[in-house]
């Protein structure tokens, strides 16, 4: 049976996404070149390739039941010593991310799975690099701020080259409220 590795995430929009991805690369986290900047809703999960239509239907239903919500990032944190990760903190929108990730991994659903650690929405900016580089990431981004309106989430597939590629975006209904564009809106803070 052929399998694929999928992930579901909330994209960090431009200009924030590229900036944080470049910071991650500058800190020495070379894997960042193949990982769009995001808040994880489903970590890398191996599934049978032929289940993708069912998975996409599942995610479309979740998006249809969701709504746009404010996201705000502020400052840094770390999972060290438990896990070698430095992240930018989600200070607004975390409960909505929690609601989404619970539904994505719904018991009995096509993406049902247990998490290795309790869910904690965040944006990784350093992973598995030297302690000195992680200290630098935590310090240099300590005053980082960003805010935008989350208008949906996306399904990604990891290729054999370890690069994560967008498969499909899932937008929340707008209840008749016009948006500036079909992507995620963002604003400087």
pLDDT digits (tens, 9 = 90+) for 116-137: 889 999 999 999 999 999 999 9
Where residue 181 falls among pLDDT bands split at 50, 70, 90?
A: very low
Between 101-105, 135-139, 185-189, the lowest mean confidence (pLDDT) is in 185-189
Do the strands 85-92 and 152-158 form a parallel or antiparallel pair, or are they unpaired?
unpaired
Q: How far apart are the first and last CA of the chain?
A: 48
Q: 178 pLDDT exceeds 80?
A: no
Give the pLDDT confidence score for residue 108 in this predicted structure: 95
Mean pLDDT over the full length of the chain? 91
Region 75-98: what's the mean pLDDT? 95
Pairing relationship of beta strands 164-171 and 185-187 according to DSSP bridges = unpaired
Structural domains of the chain, ranges and CATH numbers in brackets: 3-174 (3.90.1140.10)
- pLDDT at 54 (0 to 100): 97
The single-letter DSSP state of residue 173 is P
Mean pLDDT of 101-106: 97
Which residue matches tokens 């929108």?
A: 93
DSSP 31: G
Q: How far is CA 100 from CA 60, 135, 175, in A?
A: 12, 31, 19
Distances (CA, A) of 11 to 21, 89, 113, 116, 149: 12, 15, 22, 22, 11
pLDDT at 179 over 80: no
What pLDDT is recorded for position 1?
Answer: 80
pLDDT value for 156: 98
pLDDT surpasses 50 at 47: yes
Helix (H) or strand (E) holding 80: none
Whether the pLDDT of residue 185 is over 60: the answer is: no
- Contacts (Cβ under 8 Å, ≥6 apart) of 184: 11, 13, 148, 149, 150, 151, 152
pLDDT of residue 82: 86
Dihedral sign of CA atoms 106, 109, 111, 117 in order: positive
Place of tokens 């070698």: 84
What six digits make up the tokens of 118?
């309790």
């Amino acid at each position: 049976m052929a399998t694929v590795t999928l992930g579901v995430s909330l994209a960090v929009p431009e200009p924030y996404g590229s900036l944080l991805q470049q910071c991650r690369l500058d800190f020495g986290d070379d894997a960042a070149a193949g990982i769009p900047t995001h808040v994880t809703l489903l970590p890398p999960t191996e599934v049978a390739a032929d289940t993708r239509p069912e998975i996409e239907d599942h995610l479309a239903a979740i998006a249809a039941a969701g709504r746009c919500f404010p996201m705000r990032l502020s400052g840094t944190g770390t999972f060290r010593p438990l896990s070698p990760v430095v992240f930018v903190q989600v200070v607004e929108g975390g409960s909505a991310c929690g609601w989404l990730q619970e539904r994505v991994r719904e018991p009995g659903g096509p993406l049902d799975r247990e998490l290795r650690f309790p869910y904690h929405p965040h944006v990784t900016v350093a992973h598995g690099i030297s302690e000195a580089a992680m200290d630098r990431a935590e310090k240099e981004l300590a005053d980082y701020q960003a805010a935008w309106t989350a208008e949906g989430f996306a399904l990604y597939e990891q290729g054999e080259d370890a690069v994560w590629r967008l498969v499909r975006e899932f937008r929340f209904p707008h209840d008749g409220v016009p948006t500036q564009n079909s992507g995620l809106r963002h604003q400087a803070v």
